[in-house]
């Protein structure tokens, strides 16, 4: 520990952190550096301004078994408002930085300098591997130190504009490449994303969140209309709902930027409306109309910025009556093959569209420096009802996960009195209402049941051959005359049911028909039927051929048990020339044909469902401007 007097004002200063090289005098804001046993003044730095940060200098926390303390505090700015970074010293002497961004915290530990890396090689969306992690660049920016307090590891130069690259990896990994004032050989900081509750800081050491009370009830600098800011601590742009003026919010003051056209009609969800989605109450604070132009046709859509103090910002997007709820993602959690597919948590999202999006209308308040006319590259990957959306500018890329919601959900969530428009067309992530899955499962279940029934019936069936006789026709027999009639010996049918009649004859280039009557000797009832076989063969210029069959069968339904005689009369062409035929009767034999037709009926519904689902998907993908291949 080093104690001494500030070289500038004489106030007491103290180095309690072993790694600190400078300390900012709490009385005169002089940066005091220790040079051996003496202290030197290295100029002054601005005083810390109040922000929404819950942290304070000197707060102690614990990550697992590692205790730490916040010993230094920097505020940086790139012209759009400051952000906070805290210098951390662990009890074991290690040091790190705790940065804040839109309600999230990133604890980073220095892991050395990477020589050969150049700032220009890390545009937003660039994927690379470093320090054993697969990473995606989310932001490439710069900033100056505008204020400081406490103890710091290096000298502070408020005039130095430092460049950095922020990248994320899977499962919360966060990496910063600090290029400083150079553009090569960055110092690498590796850490992870944490929630406030994961910092291990006791609640009584946290600072109550400061609200910019003065700005909560501000007035437009152009029309003097009242502006109620619902996220004053994080708002950087406000678009006046009365005159359309776009105002910059900086250091508690509003400054006019540009005059925008007011949207007509206005937002379907009024600014300030509160609604509950995913168990969280959101307040609608911003409204955008964006559009893209494809093949000369303008396609507009609306976006609503939602805010919750604990969860931060999220979005609702509406296009042609279709609604999608968008939640932020870390880019490192998503694997993307541009224009083909994205993968998130084991699910594949097929590329649907990639467009140049233009912001046309701005209304309400926003956490970034929004402007009418700004452009970005927007891509959408879908796995209905979900989607992965990528929005990329020159300096930043953001990823969101979308979930398709029915208009009724939005209507109920925000208690809207005016009915929302009915959806038109098919949205990229709209669920297919004609999914064939349930129909296939239904048909499969009943087919299996039908197959079991068929097996049982076969097992229980008698399949009894009650008659098998061969009849040889006399040479002088004439077709259809008494000379071609034959009576079988009496036989018994023991079980009520069907009878399969099977006719076989060795015909060759001829045909033979049998008109038969099954006569019940007790009742005199007659069941008549006709069977015919024919077989022809030969050869021609195309080679040999054949057609027909020498065996045919027919089922006689509902034949009562009893004693029967089979009367048959042969029909043929010309003379029989020694022809013969065999008639076989089998009692109680299940028909496989019935089972087949029952299956056909069962599978009609799923096949129809497939047709409807396929038609829906064809219509959906007809709107895609990408050829991402077969992904279904």
Q: What are the residues whose beta carbons fall under 8 Å from the beta carbon of 600, sequence distance 6 or more?
A: none
Q: How far apart are CA 139 and CA 609, in angstroms?
A: 46
Q: Residue 630 has what pLDDT?
A: 45
128 CA to centre of own chain: 24
Q: Does residue 632 form part of some domain? A: no
Q: Tell me the backbone φ, ψ of residue 429, rounded to 5 degrees.
A: -105, 15
Q: How far apart are CA 68 and CA 58, in angstroms?
A: 10
Q: How far apart are CA 223 and CA 219, in angstroms?
A: 8
State the DSSP code for 153. S
**Residues linked to residue 15 through DSSP beta bridges, in sequence order:** 2
Total number of domains in the chain: 4
Q: How far apart are CA 176 and CA 189, in angstroms?
A: 5
Q: Check whether residue 408 and residue 491 sit in a common domain.
A: no
Question: Which of 205, 223, 239 lies at the terminal end of a domain, its last residue?
Answer: 205
- How far apart are the two ends of the chain, measured CA to CA in Å? 66
Q: Check whether residue 377 and residue 289 sit in a common domain.
A: yes
Q: Check whether residue 354 and residue 339 sit in a common domain.
A: yes
Q: Does residue 188 form part of some domain? A: yes
Q: Are 286 and 364 in contact (CB under 8 A)?
A: yes
Q: Check whether residue 163 and residue 198 sit in a common domain.
A: yes
Residue 601 is part of which domain span? 433-461+591-623
Q: Check whether residue 103 and residue 188 sit in a common domain.
A: yes
Q: Check whether residue 288 and residue 365 sit in a common domain.
A: yes
Q: What are the residues whose beta carbons fall under 8 Å from the beta carbon of 341, sequence distance 6 or more?
A: 348, 349, 350, 351, 381, 628, 631
Q: Check whether residue 584 and residue 601 sit in a common domain.
A: no
Q: Which of 236, 373, 217 is nearest to 305 (CA)?
A: 236
Q: Check whether residue 473 and residue 446 sit in a common domain.
A: no
Q: Are 251 and 49 in contact (CB under 8 A)?
A: yes
Q: Does residue 386 form part of some domain? A: yes
Q: Are 480 and 532 in contact (CB under 8 A)?
A: no
Question: Which of 205, 230, 256 lies at the terminal end of a domain, its last residue?
Answer: 205
Q: How far apart are CA 577 and CA 473, in angstroms?
A: 8
Provide the pairing of β-strand 22-24 with 133-152: antiparallel
Q: Check whether residue 402 and residue 493 sit in a common domain.
A: no
> Which structure tokens are listed for 473?
């026709």
Q: Which of 174, 194, 193, 178 is nearest to 133 (CA)?
A: 174
Q: Check whether residue 19 and residue 44 sit in a common domain.
A: yes
Q: Does residue 148 form part of some domain? A: yes
Q: Check whether residue 160 and residue 57 sit in a common domain.
A: yes
Residue in the block written with tokens 């005169």:
28
Q: Does residue 136 form part of some domain? A: yes
Q: What are the residues whose beta carbons fall under 8 Å from the beta carbon of 437, sequence distance 6 or more?
A: none
Q: What is the dihedral of CA 621, 625, 631, 632, to 10 degrees?
A: -10
Q: Does residue 425 form part of some domain? A: no
HSE, side-chain direction, 13 A CA sphere, residue 263:
26
Please list the alpha-helical segments (H only) found in 328-390.
none
Q: Does residue 630 form part of some domain? A: no
Q: Which helix (H) or strand (E) segment is 227 a member of?
A: strand 226-228
Q: What is the CATH number of the domain that holds 583?
A: 2.60.120
Please count the helices (runs of H) and the strands (runs of E) in the chain: 4, 41
Q: How far apart are CA 595 and CA 337, in angstroms?
A: 48
Q: Residue 216 has what pLDDT?
A: 56
Q: How far apart are CA 14 and CA 22, in angstroms?
A: 10
Q: Check whether residue 283 and residue 360 sit in a common domain.
A: yes
Q: Residue 397 has what pLDDT?
A: 93
Q: Are 561 and 499 in contact (CB under 8 A)?
A: no
Residue in the block written with tokens 């130095």:
160
Q: Which helix (H) or strand (E) segment is 216 a member of?
A: helix 213-216
Angle CA 33–95–161, to nearest 5: 60
Residues of the chain predicted below pLDDT 70: 1, 80-81, 102-103, 209-217, 233, 250-252, 628-632
Please list the alpha-helical segments (H only) found in 519-628.
592-621
Q: Does residue 423 form part of some domain? A: no
């Amino acid at each position: 520990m080093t104690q001494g007097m500030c070289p500038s004002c004489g106030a007491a200063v103290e180095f309690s952190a072993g790694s600190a090289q400078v300390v900012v005098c709490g009385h005169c804001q002089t940066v005091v550096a220790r040079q051996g046993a003496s202290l030197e003044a290295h100029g002054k730095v601005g005083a810390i301004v109040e922000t929404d940060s819950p942290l304070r200098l000197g707060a102690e926390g614990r990550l697992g078994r590692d205790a730490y303390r916040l010993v230094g505090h920097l505020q940086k700015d790139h012209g759009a408002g400051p952000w906070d970074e805290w210098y951390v010293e662990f009890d074991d002497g290690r040091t790190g930085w705790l940065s804040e961004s839109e309600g999230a915290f990133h604890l980073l530990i220095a892991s050395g300098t990477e020589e050969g890396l150049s700032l220009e090689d890390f545009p937003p969306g660039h994927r690379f591997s470093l320090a054993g992690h697969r990473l995606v660049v989310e932001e490439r920016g710069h900033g100056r130190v505008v204020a400081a307090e406490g103890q710091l590891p290096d000298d502070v130069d408020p005039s130095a504009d430092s460049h950095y690259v922020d990248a994320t990896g899977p499962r919360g990994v966060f990496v910063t490449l600090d290029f400083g004032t150079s553009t090569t050989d960055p110092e690498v900081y590796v850490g992870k994303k944490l929630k406030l509750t994961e910092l291990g800081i006791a609640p009584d050491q946290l600072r109550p969140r400061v609200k910019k009370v003065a700005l909560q009830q501000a007035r437009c600098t152009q029309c003097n209309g009242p502006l109620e800011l619902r996220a004053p601590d994080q708002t950087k742009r406000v678009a006046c709902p009365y005159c359309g003026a776009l105002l910059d919010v900086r250091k508690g003051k509003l400054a006019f930027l540009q005059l925008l056209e007011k949207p007509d009609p206005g937002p379907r969800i009024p600014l300030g409306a509160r609604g509950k989605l995913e168990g969280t109450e959101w307040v609608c604070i911003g409204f955008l109309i964006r559009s893209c132009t494809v093949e000369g046709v303008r396609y507009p859509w609306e976006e609503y910025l939602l805010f919750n103090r604990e969860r931060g910002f999220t979005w609702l997007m509406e296009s042609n009556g279709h609604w999608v709820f968008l939640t932020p993602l870390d880019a490192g959690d998503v694997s993307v093959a541009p224009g083909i597919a994205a993968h998130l948590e084991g699910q594949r999202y097929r590329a649907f569209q990639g467009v140049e999006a233009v912001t046309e209308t701005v209304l309400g308040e926003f956490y970034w420096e929004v402007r009418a006319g700004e452009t970005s590259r927007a891509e959408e990957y879908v796995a209905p009802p979900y989607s992965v959306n990528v929005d990329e500018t020159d300096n930043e890329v953001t990823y969101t996960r979308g979930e398709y919601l029915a208009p009724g959900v939005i209507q109920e969530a925000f208690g809207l009195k005016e009915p929302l428009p009915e959806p038109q067309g098919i949205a990229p992530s709209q669920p297919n209402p004609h999914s064939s899955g349930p129909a296939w499962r239904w048909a499969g279940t009943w087919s299996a049941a039908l197959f079991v029934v068929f097996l049982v019936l076969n097992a229980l069936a008698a399949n009894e051959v009650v008659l098998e006789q061969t009849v040889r026709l006399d040479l002088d027999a004439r077709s259809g005359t008494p000379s071609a009639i034959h009576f079988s010996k009496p036989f018994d049918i023991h079980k009520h049911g069907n009878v399969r009649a099977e006719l076989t004859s060795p015909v060759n280039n001829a045909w033979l028909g049998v008109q038969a009557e099954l006569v019940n000797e007790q009742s005199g009832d007659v069941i008549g039927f006709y069977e015919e076989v024919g077989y022809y063969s030969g050869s021609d210029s195309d080679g040999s051929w054949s057609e027909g069959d020498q065996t045919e069968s027919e089922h006689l339904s509902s034949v009562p048990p009893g004693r029967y005689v089979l009367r048959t009369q042969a029909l043929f062409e010309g003379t029989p020339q020694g022809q013969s035929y065999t008639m076989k009767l089998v009692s109680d034999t299940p028909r496989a044909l019935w089972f087949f037709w029952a299956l056909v009926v069962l599978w009609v519904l799923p096949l129809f469902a497939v047709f409807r689902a396929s038609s829906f998907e064809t219509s959906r993908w007809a709107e895609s401007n990408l050829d991402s291949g077969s992904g279904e």
